[in-house]
Amino acid sequence: MSLWHVQTVAPCMEYIELGRACYTTTPPLWGPDGLIYNGHLITCPRHYKQTTNDVANFFYEPGNDRLVAHIILSTTYWPSWDVQRYEFSAEDGSWLNREEVLARQAFIGIWGAAWTRDGTMGSFNKIYACRNSETAIREISWRTAEPVSGGWWVDPYTWNPKSIYGFAVVNRVDNHFAGIGSWTLDCWRNLGATPERFGQLRLPNTLGYLAYESRNYCWVVTKDGGILKADYQVPRWEMISTVQNPTADARNYYITYDTRRKRVVVFRWREDAPDGACRNQLEFYYPMVEAGQLTQPVPVTSLRAGNRIILAAHLIGDAGEGVTPYTVEGELIEPVEGRLVTPFSGTELNGRVCFQYQAPDQACTETLMLQVSVEES
């Protein structure tokens, strides 16, 4: 089961209801009911006036201890789009400004959301984001996603080699910086003087979102739900895992790190339900691997009568990462002719367990059953 799953809040948000019966045929732009954009949103069975068009930013805002998402919506009302700031409790994922958003009072303006993207928390608990309208990376306001006047900024396009990033983590304390276009995490140092690109990490798949954890670590979620932790000061991959139950209906994944509770939060943008209801969800994970499966024991020595035979199996997570420490118990199923020398065995760092079996002096068929109990959260 991938990373250790704490809880899922699904759905974590709602769209504004139409408030009347849905249209049987898609209403025209100009009709008896006035101006209606995106008429398909309120054509039966759909009956919501909004849908998610893009998630511009998703980050943990430590000042208010909230998870913040700036979401661009397609709407039926004027001017066919809306940008709202969704605030969730970092504790349990509950939607804190529900009334405000459903009353369209959390509007942050188009410029912050459209020109700023993929913000994440960085040094000094500030939010930093790349921009669609320029190559600079700027400190932005968590409220509006607009650059803070007089805020910190760098422009990687002026560095050598000239670079443009869509995602970035900023470590102003050590003058480190890591940015991603799509496939490669570029690690820079010496930001204060002449920035130098000293290392690169290739991603296992195209990026979904990048999040800052600390002066050393950042988190990556890929388009298909893979989660990786990297040390961007070495640079080196530290961990590979996945979200729980990656689904085909996920449009994208967004990741952030709750530095107060030391856990990973993933925002999953999912396709709307058939009636148009929002199905976006928040998932909370502890940054440790949960056991997903136990592979079959496989003999690794010659299968001959009278031999001591070694069998190996693995306890792994959903990305194949070894899970430890657990005790795996072995049991021979009746009829038993030989002897299981190792009745239980502990997993090694790569999740491997080895069992020894003493074969009798004649030919036989034997069945070994393995089981492990993993405590549920």
Report which of 306, 318, 323 is spatially closest to residue 357, judged by C-alpha positions. Answer: 306
- Hey, what are 74's tokens? 């397609």
The distance of closest approach from Cβ of residue 373 to another protein in the complex, given in angstroms and rounded to an integer, is 20
Pattern 343-372, another protein, x by CB under 8 A: -----xxxxx----------x---------
Nearer to another protein, 93 or 297 (CB): 297
- Hey, what are 160's tokens? 């050598």
Element housing 268 (H / E): strand 263-270
| Residue carrying structure tokens 């496989």 | 298
Nearer to another protein, 119 or 235 (CB): 235
The distance of closest approach from Cβ of residue 247 to another protein in the complex, given in angstroms and rounded to an integer, is 15
Compute the Cα dihedral for 121, 236, 261, 226 and give only its sign: positive
Residue 190, helix vs strand vs coil: coil
- With CB under 8 A, what is the number of residues at the site for another protein? 45
Residue 113, helix vs strand vs coil: helix
238 binds another protein (CB under 8 A): yes
31-39, 73-81, 260-268, 294-302 -> range binding another protein (CB under 8 A) = 294-302
Are 244 and 281 in contact, with CB atoms under 8 Å apart?
A: no
322 binds another protein (CB under 8 A): yes
Name which position in 296, 367, 371, 377 contacts another protein (CB under 8 A): 296
Residues from 190 through 229 that contact another protein (CB under 8 A): 198-206, 224, 226, 228
Report which of 327, 342, 260 is spatially closest to residue 291, judged by C-alpha positions. Answer: 327
**DSSP codes, 290-334:** PP-EEPPPEE-S---TT-EEEEEEEEE-TTS-B--S-EEEEEEES
The distance of closest approach from Cβ of residue 306 to another protein in the complex, given in angstroms and rounded to an integer, is 9
The distance of closest approach from Cβ of residue 318 to another protein in the complex, given in angstroms and rounded to an integer, is 7
Nearer to another protein, 87 or 318 (CB): 318
Nearer to another protein, 114 or 354 (CB): 354
How far apart, in whole angstroms, are the C-alpha atoms of residue 211 and residue 225?
14
Nearer to another protein, 158 or 182 (CB): 182
The distance of closest approach from Cβ of residue 44 to another protein in the complex, given in angstroms and rounded to an integer, is 36
The distance of closest approach from Cβ of residue 350 to another protein in the complex, given in angstroms and rounded to an integer, is 5
The distance of closest approach from Cβ of residue 15 to another protein in the complex, given in angstroms and rounded to an integer, is 33
- Hey, what are 93's tokens? 């994922």
Pattern 274-293, another protein, x by CB under 8 A: -------------------x
Residues from 149 through 188 that contact another protein (CB under 8 A): 183
Name which position in 62, 320, 326, 340 contacts another protein (CB under 8 A): 320
How many C-beta neighbours within 10 Å does residue 73 have? Answer: 23
The distance of closest approach from Cβ of residue 364 to another protein in the complex, given in angstroms and rounded to an integer, is 10
295 binds another protein (CB under 8 A): yes
Report which of 122, 180, 140 is spatially closest to residue 156, judged by C-alpha positions. Answer: 180
Residues from 300 through 319 that contact another protein (CB under 8 A): 300-303, 305, 310, 312-314, 316, 318-319
In this structure, are strands 66-75 and 81-89 parallel, antiparallel, or unpaired? antiparallel
**DSSP codes, 60-106:** EETTTTEEEEEEEEEESSTTSEEEEEEEEETTT--BTTHHHHHTT--
Report which of 363, 323, 367 is spatially closest to residue 4, judged by C-alpha positions. Answer: 323
Nearer to another protein, 193 or 248 (CB): 248
Residues in contact with another protein by the rule CB under 8 A: 183, 198-206, 224, 226, 228, 235-240, 293, 295-303, 305, 310, 312-314, 316, 318-320, 322, 348-352, 363
